[in-house]
């Protein structure tokens, strides 16, 4: 075991502050990574403030961060995928049971024994729970360490590990292609990646935003149309017209307004995870045989596929790079929808 610097929250009302946390020494199948950049996901904020207490209570101290890019500094004797010096990435998972039906299909996100990157029981017993990427270094099973394609900006690549895969995976699953009308609700970290992918996959892409100031950006990011969702007239023009809508909103909102925009057999997929349940009207679903679904991150093979797709198409996240000392300020700005479009921590500021 060794100690490494990190930023942690001591309680749900504490500010994040400098801490020293334990990491295990790499086992034979582990990779040790010096973290260069870590994105700030709204899930980090939900966790630190214990907003998901009813389904996933936070164990404190909490070290969030699951959009990690770094350099390999050490590998275990049986590691074959990575070597010292490689530029690698880690997302929301750091381990699984490797043996269940889901793992054998490369759908590790559905493994009943998956280990999330933070706030999950630490099966190595190094600490009560896993600690995430707001930290100097991390030790991860090699299967959960991904290759970063050459040429991608590393700060912009970090958010691909959560915001990227969480929006790419449902678009592939529900068949976003040329000729499909695709909505993206909420232009934040996830939403702006959703727009980039919907556009790159050839969909007619419509952004729904509550922020009039984001209209021009939405178009620059790849939207064909932008709707201010508070404007009922603008919403009414799109009733019954969408094949697929990806809902990336982090807070309470009316989901029925989006179900009503679907064509028959269309799907709204929730990737946003608001604190409170969202009421659903039966009529929004049964007229048009519409579906409401959800999707969590993605498996490891698909995450590598997404990274390679980004490498080929030069897709990265639009980031505002900050030193870790500004993390508390960044959380406040995230709550005010004031981020364009992902905060990314330059971990050199911790050293």
Q: Could you list the residues that contact ligand NAP (CB under 6 A)? A: 41-43, 46, 162-163, 166, 186-191, 209-211, 214, 248-253, 271-274, 295-297, 334, 337, 339
**Whose Cβ is closer to ligand NAP: residue 14's or residue 211's?**
211
Convert 35-73 to b/e letters by CB count within 10 Å (16 or more is b).
bbbbbbbbbbbbbbbbbbeeeeebbbbbbbbbbbbbbbe
Shortest approach of ligand NAP to residue 2 CB, angstroms? 30
**Whose Cβ is closer to Zn ion: residue 47's or residue 205's?**
47
**Whose Cβ is closer to ligand NAP: residue 249's or residue 268's?**
249
CA-CA distance, 175 to 41, in Å (whole number)? 26
Shortest approach of ligand NAP to residue 337 CB, angstroms? 4
**Whose Cβ is closer to ligand NAP: residue 141's or residue 303's?**
303
CA-CA distance, 246 to 87, in Å (whole number)? 31
Distances (CA, A) of 167 to 29, 68, 93, 261, 343: 30, 17, 16, 20, 17
**Whose Cβ is closer to ligand NAP: residue 28's or residue 216's?**
216
The region of 26-34, 37-45, 93-101, 125-133 touching Zn ion under the rule CB under 5 A is 37-45
**Whose Cβ is closer to ligand NAP: residue 31's or residue 344's?**
344
The region of 22-30, 41-49, 148-156, 332-340 touching Zn ion under the rule CB under 5 A is 41-49
Query: Per CB under 5 A, does 41 bind Zn ion?
Result: yes
**Whose Cβ is closer to ligand NAP: residue 320's or residue 346's?**
320
Question: How many residues make up the chain in this entry?
Answer: 351
CA-CA distance, 314 to 294, in Å (whole number)? 28
Site of tokens 């590393």: 154
Shortest approach of ligand NAP to residue 299 CB, angstroms? 12
Residues 6+ apart with CB under 8 A from 216: none
Instruction: Select the binding partner of residue 126 from ligand NAP, Zn ion, none (C-beta < 5 to 8 A, by kind).
Output: none
Query: Per CB under 5 A, does 162 bind Zn ion?
Result: yes
Instruction: Select the binding partner of residue 189 from Zn ion, ligand NAP, none (C-beta < 5 to 8 A, by kind).
Output: ligand NAP
CB–CB of 7/327 below 8 Å? yes
* DSSP tag of 251: S
Shortest approach of Zn ion to residue 157 CB, angstroms? 15
Query: Per CB under 5 A, does 43 bind Zn ion?
Result: yes
User: In 10 A of CB 324, how many CB atoms?
Assistant: 22
- In sign, the C-alpha dihedral spanning 179, 297, 90, 195 is positive
Q: Which two tokens stand for residue 338?
A: 């004031």
Residue nearest ligand NAP, CB atom distance = 188
Task: Give the chain's end-to-end CA distance (angstroms, integer).
Answer: 19
Shortest approach of Zn ion to residue 162 CB, angstroms? 3
Q: Which residues make up the interface to Zn ion (CB under 5 A)?
A: 41, 43, 162
């Amino acid at each position: 075991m060794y100690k490494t610097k990190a930023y942690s929250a001591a309680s749900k009302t504490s500010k994040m502050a400098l801490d020293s946390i334990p990491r295990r020494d790499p086992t034979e199948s582990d990779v040790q990574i010096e973290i260069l950049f870590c994105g700030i996901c709204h899930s980090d904020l939900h966790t630190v403030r214990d907003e998901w207490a009813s389904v996933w209570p936070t164990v404190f101290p909490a070290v969030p961060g699951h959009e990690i890019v770094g350099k390999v500094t050490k590998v275990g004797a049986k590691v074959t995928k990575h070597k010292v010096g490689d530029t690698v990435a880690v997302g929301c998972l750091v381990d699984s049971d490797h043996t269940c039906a889901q793992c054998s299909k490369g759908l590790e996100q559905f493994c009943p024994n998956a280990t999330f990157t933070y706030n999950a029981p630490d099966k190595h017993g190094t600490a009560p729970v896993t600690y995430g990427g707001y930290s100097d270094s991390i030790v991860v099973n090699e299967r959960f360490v991904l290759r970063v394609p050459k040429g991608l900006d590393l700060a912009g690549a970090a958010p691909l590990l959560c915001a990227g895969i969480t929006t790419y995976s449902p678009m592939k699953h529900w068949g976003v292609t040329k000729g499909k009308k695709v909505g993206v609700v909420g232009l934040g970290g996830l939403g702006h990646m959703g727009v980039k992918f919907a556009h790159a996959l050839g969909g007619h892409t419509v952004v729904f935003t509550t922020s009039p100031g984001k209209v021009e950006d939405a178009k620059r990011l790849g939207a064909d149309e932008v709707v201010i969702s508070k404007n009922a007239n603008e919403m009414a023009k799109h009733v019954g017209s969408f094949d697929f809508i990806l809902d990336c909103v982090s807070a309470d909102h009316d989901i029925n307004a989006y179900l009503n925009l679907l064509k028959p057999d269309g799907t709204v997929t929730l990737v946003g995870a608001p604190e409170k349940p969202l009421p659903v009207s039966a009529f929004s679903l049964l007229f048009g045989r519409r579906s409401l679904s959800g999707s969590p991150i993605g498996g490891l093979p698909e995450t590598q596929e997404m990274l390679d797709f980004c490498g080929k198409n030069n897709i990265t996240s639009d980031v505002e790079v900050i030193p870790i000392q500004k993390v508390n300020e960044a959380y406040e700005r995230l709550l005010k929808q004031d981020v364009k479009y992902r905060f990314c921590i330059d971990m050199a500021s911790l050293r």
